[in-house]
Every structure is written in structure tokens, then in C-alpha cells.
Amino acid sequence: MRGLDLKQNELFSYTTLEQRIPNDHPLRPLRELVDTVLTSMDQDFDGLYSTLLRASIAPERLLRAALLQVIYTIRSERQLVEQIDFNLLFRWVVGLSMDERMWDHSTFSQNRDRLFNQDVARLFFQCWR
């Protein structure tokens, strides 16, 4: 018997992103390592951002997204932001919830450029040696 092709959106989801990512997925240990490195860089991040202005994209999220761009060879920020927006694995790695609004590609590029013009991004990638 053929199944029905019902088009019904769920109102609520009771599954978290953490539950959707398999325990043996290769990005799990990488994310743990990245989180450890980023935690050790908290003071470096604090020195870059003003406490008076509007909050920007968290530097931890920028660096995680940049790492995804390198690993998956995504050729542009526009494509990267699009991938993060609809790929639950990418959302999990970056640290976004399923419902969190994705930033615009130009905002990502502007924030990324500001961060990469500092020594912090160099420090982050040197921690991998």
C-alpha cells in the first residue's frame, strides 16, 4: 500500500540539536576541541569589543563558521550563511539554536573582517599546531 504524502508542518519540536547529531559524528570531537580553545581566548575577545555599543556576532560563532567554511570548502560568505541557515549540523557547530535568526552575509563578512584584522584569529588558528 502506498503511503500518503501529507504536507503538515509540526508546530513544536521536542528534539534538540544535540539529540539530532549522532554521538559518533566526526565533528563532535572537533567541536569539543574548538570550544576548549575558544574558552581559553575569552580575555582576548573581551579586549576587542566595546561594552557600550550594540552587540555584534559573537567571535566564537564567527570562528566556528569560518572553520566550517574551510572544512567544507564553501567558496563564499553568502553560501556559508545559507548553509548554516538550513543545515542543522552547521547550526549545531556554530552554536545556533534551530529557531535562532541567521545573520545576513554582509554582516557576517563585516564582522569576520574586523576579527580577522586582529591577532585573535591568527591566535585561534595557531592553537591547532
Specify the number of domains making up the chain.
Answer: 1
Is 21 within a domain?
no
Q: What is the pLDDT of residue 95?
A: 94
Is 62 within a domain?
yes
Task: Give the three-state DSSP class for 32.
Answer: helix
Q: What is the pLDDT of residue 34?
A: 93
Is 120 within a domain?
yes
pLDDT digits (tens, 9 = 90+) for 49-92: 666 666 678 888 989 999 999 999 999 999 999 999 999 999 99
Gap between the Cα atoms of 25 and 89, Å rounded: 10
Is 68 within a domain?
yes
Q: Kindly tell me if the per-residue pLDDT of 1 is higher than 70.
A: no
Rounded to the nearest integer, the mean pLDDT of the chain is 85
pTM: 0.83
Is 89 within a domain?
yes
Give the domain extent around 83. Answer: 58-129
Is 75 within a domain?
yes
Is 78 within a domain?
yes
pLDDT digits (tens, 9 = 90+) for 118-128: 777 777 877 66
Taking 3-state DSSP, the helix, strand and coil percentages for the chain, each rounded to the nearest 5, stand at: 55, 0, 45
Is 129 within a domain?
yes
The H-or-E segment that residue 83 falls in is: helix 77-86
